[in-house]
Amino acid sequence: MIIAIILYFLLAFVLMGRLLLYGVRPTKTLAWLLAIFTVPVGGMLFYFILGRNRRKNKFYTLKKTKEISEYYANVEEYYSKLDNHKHSNIPKAIKEHIKLAKLITKGSKFLPSDGNELIPLKNGKANFKAIFSALEQAEKFIHIQYYIFEEGDLAETFKSILLRKAKEGVEIRFLYDALGSRTLSNSYINSLKAEGIEVYSFLPMKLGRLLSSINYRNHRKIVIVDGLVAFTGGINVSDKYISGDPVLGKWYDMHLQLKGTVVNSLQAVFTMDWSFASGTDHLLNTKYILKHATLGTSVAQIVASGPDSDFSSIQQLYFSIINNAKDYVYITNPYIIPGEALLQALQVAAMSGIDIRVLLSTNSDSFLVKWNVRSYFEDLLASGVKIYLYPDGFLHSKVIISDDALTSIGTANLDIRSFEQNYEVNALIYDKDITTALKNDFLKDCNKSSQMDYQQHLKRPKTDRLKEGLAKVFSPVL
């Protein structure tokens, strides 16, 4: 018993050293130190699951090949050009948002790309119709990555197309998150592998690394066909996107179809995740990279971040859009748990006269999340942020639009999990027409919704306040 206690405190002091070396915020570091030294076993266990700073202790660093070194050199060269934003090769839309473009280039390492065709896909039917059409036309390769891939009618359609394309000689790689797609059966996976399709899970739930990996999930959704067309956004593979949810009703979400050079950035995101999951770097071959082609008029920039990336790039993206808005910021997101920095940004913007609106569903797919989100309503409403509750079904979209100029569509929620613990990817669109169209859709949805009243909200029952407080306590694990 004495030996066990001595070993426990030795390990506790080792963890204390790690916290002091790699801790992020003093308050968070102090909280973990108190938990480790005052809650026997449990405090240390929770630290292993939730507490480690993955930005300092990376899961994975991509091998620095010649191609990657050359790419990073191009990123630095472009970043230097952005300092002189009168440079002729910089698109006008980028010049108008030079600070934001520089931020993403530096933080996420992806360059802005012009001459793209971008099509927002506003529901599940439109999304899967477009994806299946693209898959049917594949000639060289198909890369698929999902957080949730549930068996059902949609999954069967995916399988039938993929098996047929594999027989035609198309290279197919299939990546899924081990926790999000935990219901995916071995029989489904083996049926793909039997036809030569490469299949890997991201951070599989193995006993030896379960504590270190279970809280860090790959929330990205990416489909790439021949390097010519790609898809990303909030839509997973689940039949509820077509037939609805038995409890919540209609399930709304937003996805994006991309054609043009911007597809290369999504291919790079897939490559990094595939390399980590498979242990190979063969996707760095230039045959998976599209040469510059002008297919449309839109400028876009991919923003990716994860628990082991250098910066919280998507949080910085959201923060920058809110901080630099001149007229409005409209947000559609189901999980708004902003943390101190983004809460302050939203409040400061609203109090400065910027029209800040938040649209989310009346109902939620999680009791804890619902009340955690609602715990921020009072502070937001007090500062002038307008909150609209959509009554029909569940809004799962992750969209931010601003000033008839900028649109962000992607996988990242507005919460700490997406900023710090999940692998996420967003597309930032510098396009007036797309933003204006989505703004009109947003305002129509607001008209269908009920706007919250601050004074009325103050009168909510104490039981609601208690639920909010309890939910906030559990926010680190949401």
pLDDT, one tens digit per residue, over 167-198 is: 999 999 999 999 999 999 999 999 999 999 99
Query: What is the b/e burial string over 331-361, where b = at least 16 CB atoms within 10 angstroms of the residue's CB?
Result: bbbbbbbbeeebbbbbbebbeeebebbbbbb
Q: Does 445 participate in catalysis according to the annotation?
A: no
Q: Does 398 participate in catalysis according to the annotation?
A: yes
Bridge partners, residue 341, by sequence: none
Q: pLDDT exceeding 90 applies to what percent of the chain? A: 68
Q: Indicate if the pLDDT at residue 377 is higher than 50.
A: yes
Radius of gyration for the chain, computed over Cα atoms and rounded to the nearest angstrom: 23
What is the CA 276 to chain-centroid distance, rounded? 18
Q: Does 403 participate in catalysis according to the annotation?
A: yes
pLDDT at 224: 97
Tell me, letter by letter, the H, E, C secondary structure of the chain: CHHHHHHHHHHHHHHHHHHHHHCCCHHHHHHHHHHHHHCCCHHHHHHHHHHCCCCCCCCCCCCCCHHHHHHHHHHHHHHHHHHCCCCCCCCHHHHCCHHHHHHHHHHHCCCCEEEEEEEEECCHHHHHHHHHHHHHCCCCEEEEEECCECCCHHHHHHHHHHHHHHHCCCEEEEEEECCCCCCCCHHHHHHHHCCCCEEEEECCCCHHHHHHHCCCCECCCEEEECCCEEEEECCCECCHHHHCECCCECEECCEEEEECCCHHHHHHHHHHHHHHHHCCCHHHCHHHCCCCCCCCCEEEEEEEECCCCCCCHHHHHHHHHHHHCCCEEEEECCCEECHHHHHHHHHHHHHCCCEEEEEEECCCCCHHHHHHHHCCHHHHHHCCCEEEEECCCEECCCEEEECCCEEEEECCCEEHHHHHHCEEEEEEEECHHHHHHHHHHHHHHHHHCEECCHHHHHCCCHHHHHHHHHHHHCHHHC
pLDDT, average across residues 205-229: 81
pLDDT digits (tens, 9 = 90+) for 257-272: 999 999 999 999 999 9
Round to whole Å and give the CA distance between 386 and 383: 9
Strands 328-332 and 450-451: unpaired
pLDDT at 294: 78
pLDDT at 207: 62
Q: Indicate if the pLDDT at residue 444 is higher than 80.
A: yes
Q: Which residue, chain included where needed, has tokens 């100029």?
A: 405
Q: Does 167 participate in catalysis according to the annotation?
A: no
Q: Indicate if the pLDDT at residue 59 is higher than 70.
A: no
pLDDT at 82: 82
Q: Which two tokens stand for residue 266?
A: 């999504």
Please answer whether residues 97 and 429 qualify as being in contact, where contact means their C-beta atoms are separated by less than 8 angstroms. Answer: no
CB count within 10 Å of CB 25 equals: 9
Catalytic residue among 109, 219, 240, 255: 219
Round to whole Å and give the CA distance between 478 and 166: 39
* Residues in contact with 223: Cβ distance below 8 Å, sequence separation at least 6, in sequence order: 131, 134, 135, 142, 143, 144, 145, 230, 231, 232
Catalytic residue among 240, 370, 398, 467: 398
Catalytic residue among 97, 165, 177, 226: 226
Please answer whether residues 147 and 339 qualify as being in contact, where contact means their C-beta atoms are separated by less than 8 angstroms. Answer: no
- Band of residue 61 on the pLDDT scale cut at 50, 70, 90: low
87, 315, 331, 401 from 385: Cα distances, Å: 38, 19, 11, 15
Looking at every residue in the chain, the average pLDDT score rounds to: 87
Catalytic residue among 114, 403, 415, 445: 403
Please answer whether residues 68 and 62 qualify as being in contact, where contact means their C-beta atoms are separated by less than 8 angstroms. Answer: yes
- Band of residue 251 on the pLDDT scale cut at 50, 70, 90: very high
- At position 324, the amino acid (one-letter code) is N
What is the CA 239 to chain-centroid distance, rounded? 21
Catalytic residue among 396, 415, 431, 467: 396
Catalytic residue among 97, 109, 165, 221: 221
pLDDT digits (tens, 9 = 90+) for 62-89: 566 676 777 777 788 888 888 776 667 7
Please answer whether residues 379 and 343 qualify as being in contact, where contact means their C-beta atoms are separated by less than 8 angstroms. Answer: yes
Q: Indicate if the pLDDT at residue 285 is higher than 90.
A: no
- Band of residue 281 on the pLDDT scale cut at 50, 70, 90: confident
